[in-house]
């Protein structure tokens, strides 16, 4: 190796290291060489079309908008007589291009070396691959990808023009380039191509986002994107510190379905991955649990074991009201949550009966028929009658403080006598009264009902009441 070649190689490698970031250019440690990754930035509104399965006559077309395509990777070693005589030895690989396309690019790199007349060429190669790859291969929007492609032969990714991206007319010119051993096909299968493109596009977008400066709409501070988060649907950006506090307050209050964008009237929702990235492990565990529970509550074929010590999730078979808990093996009726009773009507608890009564009264005819079929018509009618009676008693009567008998006050003063146990009590405060002198409760100045013996009475016959102060209420 001449001193001039050694100096030019060292200068070129140092220049590349200073121009490009570490993830774009990596210099080899032991040999004069390295690895160059060229990310392909796409024009605005670039689309990917994914065709359906032709075997199943599916003509559906899925469209994706992308901004970046996976990198071309150029691995090179500089021979001792580079650049005075020999070109760099290299391989060119990519995770979405096929071998005929890569072979065509290798031919272009060789042409650029010859045109540079034995001068350093790595920077020119990088510029070509970065700026002219798409136009040279005639790749433009929309980029079409078939969902399922036959892979029965060894040369599926080699010289089969149907595996290239683009129309058949655009690919005819590529067939003129012979397969180059330096072109390395890095596509595991055609099914992996779409995943590779979308994953890389997402990671590259995040990298660009991290390097920008944004103003948080909550605290109005300017911060780098790496310290911010954006909602995917609306692209509104907030700093992570503000969102962390906002998310944790909502999760502690149980509002796991309300982790939406703070922008007024915006309906974008944070993804579970975004929530996990911001909050503590303890808070996220609560979020995950509540989110699962709220999701299960919306599923009509999912119930919980009614045993308080179990509460396991139970899946119901379609049209079946019997549930069998996978944890404690308890067989129960999903309607009344009691032990399974076959075709017998449900025996409902008071609170369940009350809710069922309200549902029945507010239902239309078809819904009433369904409820009657599930719970029995007589059960529902009796529930309506009993609960209506209870509502009337709650509104028009008061319980005796001794025996609980419902007492209705028809007329008279506020000293009442229970017709069941003969206990005297005050109608106003339901306080038991002395048998010896029940009226002392109303004449005692320390009593809350002082001078309230006739409170609330309509005196139409005041003289008759004064003559008979012992006129008590009845049941």
Contact by Cβ (8 Å): 110, 95: no
CA proximity to 201, closest of 311, 7, 65: 65
Please tell me the predicted confidence (pLDDT) of residue 5: 84
pTM recorded for the entire structure:
0.55
What is the average per-residue pLDDT within 171-186?
A: 74
Alpha-helix runs per DSSP H in 172-235 = 190-211
What would the pLDDT profile of 235-246 be if each residue is shown by its tens digit? 899 999 999 998
Domain boundaries along the sequence of the chain: 3-202, 212-297, 299-334, 351-396, 400-475
Enclosing H/E stretch for 248: helix 240-252
Please tell me the predicted confidence (pLDDT) of residue 378: 67
What would the pLDDT profile of 66-93 be if each residue is shown by its tens digit? 999 999 999 999 999 898 889 999 999 9
Lowest pLDDT segment from 38-47, 175-184, 348-357? 348-357
What would the pLDDT profile of 91-137 be if each residue is shown by its tens digit? 999 888 888 889 999 999 999 999 988 889 999 999 999 999 988 88
DSSP states along 33-58: EEEEEEEEEPPTT-EEEEE--TTTT-
Catalytic residue from among 242, 333, 336, 413:
413
What tokens were used for 268? 């974008």
Please tell me the predicted confidence (pLDDT) of residue 163: 41
CATH number for the domain whose boundaries are 212-297: 3.30.40.10
426 is catalytic: no
Residue 256 and residue 288: Cα distance in Å, rounded? 9
Domains 3-202 and 212-297 share a fold: no
Residue 275 and residue 229: Cα distance in Å, rounded? 10
Residue 391 and residue 361: Cα distance in Å, rounded? 15
Highest CATH level, class, for 3-202: alpha beta
Residue 64 and residue 50: Cα distance in Å, rounded? 8
Per cent of the chain over pLDDT 70 is 81
Which of the pair, 233 or 213, is modelled with greater confidence? Answer: 213
Give the confidence band of 465 by pLDDT, cuts at 50, 70, 90.
very low
CA proximity to 166, closest of 188, 196, 133, 127: 133
Which of the pair, 26 or 368, is modelled with greater confidence? Answer: 26
């Amino acid at each position: 190796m001449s001193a001039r070649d050694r100096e030019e190689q060292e200068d070129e490698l140092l220049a590349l290291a200073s121009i490009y970031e570490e993830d774009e250019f990596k210099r080899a440690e032991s040999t004069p060489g390295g690895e160059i990754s060229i990310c392909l930035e796409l024009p605005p509104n670039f689309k990917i079309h994914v065709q359906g399965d032709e075997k199943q006559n599916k003509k559906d077309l899925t469209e994706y908008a992308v901004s970046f395509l996976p990198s071309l990777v150029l691995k090179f070693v500089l021979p001792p007589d580079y650049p005075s005589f020999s070109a760099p030895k290299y391989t060119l690989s990519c995770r979405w291009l096929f071998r005929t396309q890569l072979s065509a690019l290798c031919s272009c790199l060789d042409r650029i070396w010859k045109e540079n007349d034995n001068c350093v060429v790595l920077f020119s190669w990088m510029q070509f691959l970065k700026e002219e790859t798409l136009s040279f291969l005639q790749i433009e929007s929309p980029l079409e990808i078939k969902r399922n492609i036959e892979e029965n032969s060894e040369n599926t990714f080699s010289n089969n023009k149907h595996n290239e991206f683009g129309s058949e007319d655009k690919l005819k010119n590529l067939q003129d380039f012979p397969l180059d051993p330096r072109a390395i096909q890095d596509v595991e299968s055609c099914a992996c191509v779409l995943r590779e493109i979308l994953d890389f596009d997402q990671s590259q977008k995040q990298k660009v986002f991290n390097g920008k400066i944004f103003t948080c709409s909550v605290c109005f501070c300017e911060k780098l994107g790496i310290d911010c988060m954006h909602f995917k649907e609306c692209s509104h950006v907030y700093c992570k510190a503000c969102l962390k506090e906002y998310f944790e307050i909502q999760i502690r209050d149980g509002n796991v379905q309300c982790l939406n964008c703070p922008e007024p009237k915006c309906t974008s929702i944070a993804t579970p991955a975004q929530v996990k990235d911001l909050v503590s492990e303890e808070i996220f565990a609560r979020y995950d649990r509540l989110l699962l529970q709220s999701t299960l509550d919306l599923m009509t074929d999912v119930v919980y074991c009614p045993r308080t010590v179990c509460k396991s999730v139970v899946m119901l078979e379609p049209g079946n009201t019997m549930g069998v808990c996978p944890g404690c093996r308890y067989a129960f009726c999903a309607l009344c949550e009691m032990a399974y009773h076959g075709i017998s009507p449900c025996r409902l608890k008071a609170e369940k009966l009350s809710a069922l009564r309200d549902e029945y009264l507010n239902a239309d005819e078809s819904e009433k028929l369904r409820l009657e079929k599930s719970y029995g018509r007589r059960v529902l009618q009796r529930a309506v009658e009993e609960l209506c009676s209870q509502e009337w008693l709650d509104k028009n009567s008061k319980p005796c403080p001794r025996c609980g008998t419902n007492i209705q006050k028809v007329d008279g003063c506020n000293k009442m006598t229970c017709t069941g146990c003969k206990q005297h009590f005050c109608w106003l405060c339901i306080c038991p009264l002395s048998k010896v002198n029940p009226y002392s409760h109303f004449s005692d100045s320390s009593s809350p009902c002082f001078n309230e013996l006739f409170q609330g009475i309509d005196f139409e016959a005041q003289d008759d009441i004064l003559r008979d102060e012992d006129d008590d209420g009845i049941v």
